[in-house]
Amino acid sequence: MSDFGWPSGSDSCRFDIVIIGTGPAGVAVAERLYERHSFATIAMVEQGSLLLRQHFYDSHGSMRDRDRFLELHRHCPWEGDLSRGGALLPCLGGRGIVGGSQLHRFYDSDFSLWANGLWGVRTAELSPYFDEAEERLLGGVRSASSSQDYAHSALAGFNARHPPYGPAAVAANGLNDGFPHRSSVQRILALLDRDRQATSRRLALFTNTVAVKLATRQPRREEITHVQCVRAGGSSGKSMTIHGAAFVLAASPVESARLVLVSGIGEADSSSSVVGRYLAEHIYCRGLLDVSGNPELNRGPINLFIPPPGDDLDDRFQVELRSTIHPDDSRALLRLTGSAAMDPRRENRLTLSPGRVDIYGVPRAMTVLTRSPDDERRTLAMLNAMDRVAAFLGGRWLTPPEILPCGASYHESGTLRIAGPEQESAAAADGLLFGTTNVFVGDGAAFASIGVANPILTLTAMGYRLGDRLAELISSA
């Protein structure tokens, strides 16, 4: 087995589980299988290379540095609405190496509030997996400074909260201190280190490797036997076949659904299929607030969030506050980011772009993502809340909040959903893609609704749950 990259001297290999994608979702599945189920052999397929060995903020980069990093490395292979601001980060760890300033569970109401967004997974069932995800991911920082404590008190009427934190809470000192979680790249590298020292090697990581098609050599078309891959970059055109007993789609809701559609597996060709349907994301609004005139807000960094004000549809948004500085004169600024849930709607979808292919000859994805009247009201309520927060802090807008382009949240969901009503689902409650016997949905494509919170913790909990299910299948085979 190969720890990194392309295995020399071989164009074919076999594993129990093949995971496509190394973001938070794919790593959670691998982590669970490797640590709790010692018999499983696992392959992870990643189209990018290793860019960072830890989260970006752990490298002492600022928010502005992060934005420049994204501009340099991100890649958008899609056409349509999501192409305005959306992108992948093709690298080990995926977009999780730069995201997630606040990690907490999806709010309970987000699992059941929308009539067409009912989850096929019970929240009580996820609870122990959330407990484990929080214990593993959350850091030990509660309050970044006296300014944070002041802002927390000043915004008590908004129910402002410190970031979720681990058991050893301490005070932090810098703008990027208090980053709340271990990123997926750190976790997969730790697993690889353990595997190198093991007597029996069970984990292989294939970087710079693009999965182009799920296929079968069996008479039964529903049982997938292998994934066809192409080497990215350098020696383009070199192909490889990775065989597996089961396959996990964790490449992003757009890329996972595109692979299903390109492969023509499951119910992708059915006129009633919801494969590719119910695409959603967070509606992002962002502004810069000048707080340099308030000495109480100039005594250290601030990192807070304000949860949804209620359980009505118009309330499904939250606001995050993070300190930054003016690039020219180092004035104290707060970056306010509002994230609002989108309604789960069947008409928001991805299809394959007719006649358009990528550099590997694979049809490109075309996305349709428009906001509903409820989405518009929710966004307006969020903008009004951000204005009220600014007024309570006595700041003035340096850059008033504006709605960012589609895709800018990098929090897509849906497309291969596990929903309450089976007729509006693409996968069963355990993640098995309908119409297949061994392909499982392991990323945000499984979400029946986008919720409000950052999805990383929920992706991790769902990944642990799927890892247990896959282990059951392997042990009973």
Q: What is the DSSP string of 171-194?
A: E--STTTT--B--HHHHHHHHHHH
User: Residue 441 and residue 447: Cα distance in Å, rounded?
Assistant: 10
Tell the residue number behind the tokens 């992060």, with chain if given: 66
For residues 409-426, average pLDDT: 95
User: Residue 172 and residue 362: Cα distance in Å, rounded?
Assistant: 47
Determine the angle formed by the axes of helices 456-476 and 123-137, rounding to 10 degrees.
110
Give the pairing of strands 12-20 and 42-45. Answer: parallel
Cβ-contact 440, 470 below 8 angstroms: yes
H helix or E strand, kind and range, residue 231 = strand 226-231
Pull the structure tokens for residue 287: 């502004």
Give the pairing of strands 349-357 and 141-143. Answer: unpaired
Domains, the chain, ordered by start: 1-137+182-280+410-477 (3.50.50.60), 139-180+282-341+370-405 (3.30.310)
Weakest-pLDDT range from 233-247, 335-349, 430-444, 460-474: 233-247
Query: Is 233's pLDDT higher than 70?
Result: no
Q: Give residue-wise pLDDT tens across range 236-281.
A: 568 899 999 999 999 999 999 999 999 999 888 777 799 999 999 9
What is the reported pLDDT for 6?
Answer: 38
Residue from 235, 247, 252, 250 nearest 5 by CA? 235
Tell the residue number behind the tokens 């009912």, with chain if given: 118
Other Cβ atoms within 10 Å of 73 Cβ, number: 17
What is the reported pLDDT for 2?
Answer: 44
Determine the angle formed by the axes of helices 184-197 and 24-36, rounding to 10 degrees.
30
